[in-house]
Amino acid sequence: MASPTLDPELITTAWRRLRAGQGPFTPHPPQPIVDALVATVLSQHTSDINSGRAFAQLKARFPTWEQVADAPADEVADAIRCGGIAYQKARRIQRILLTVEEREGAITLDRLNDLGDEAVESYLTSLPGVGPKTAACVLVFSMGRNAFPVDTHVHRLATRLGWIAEGTTAEQAHRLLTPYVPPEIRYDLHVALITHGRTTCRARQPLCGDCALQDLCPSLRECPP
């Protein structure tokens, strides 16, 4: 269940403070839908630098998605090795690509641009291994829609800030938080929370004394001095 303190004004206040400290928001250049989908799979359980390298190496070795889908899994895994858990990601990517090809007749999802957000999310989450977070990333980063991805950092900060209850899963958090985050700041807030989670509200040894959200954070008393 969502915390009683969860409301759009509180979230907007947190966003304004984070953005004031981090500087202007710069969106990422949009990618084709399939590219964004694969890139999001590669981003799991690794850094942005390593996932970016893995994506670049995958595209360099296999210029088309059809080649990725048809290649031996070991070769795909070798191309994305720097992104971690390479064989698992390779198999997941290939299953996604083959499913898209079977449904669409080609490995393209451009037609999703003509669908509403709920229809796009429903389609994407019906693909093998694609959950709400991955679907939300595609909606935001590729399609420019007002989705709110809940990754590890966003989930941790939302819990510490009392926006969601302790023990809320990432999938539950996605459903609970999105309606309360004003649509026009969802992309920006997602990025701001990730930056804050990496630099200040870290998983271990959070720098609570440097946090711009101290008075909004019920978890502050739990931080080490």
- Point out the residues that are catalytic: 133
Q: What CA–CA distance (Å, rounded) separates 179 from 167?
A: 20
Write the DSSP symbol of residue 164: B
Could you tell me which of 142, 121, 176 has the C-alpha nearest to residue 6? 176
* Cβ neighbours of residue 23 closer than 8 Å, sequence gap 6 or more: none
Neighbouring C-alpha atoms within 13 Å toward the C-beta of 36: 21
Tokens, residue 49: 């630098």
Identify whether the C-beta of residue 136 lies closer than 8 Å to the C-beta of residue 148: yes
Identify whether the C-beta of residue 117 lies closer than 8 Å to the C-beta of residue 179: no
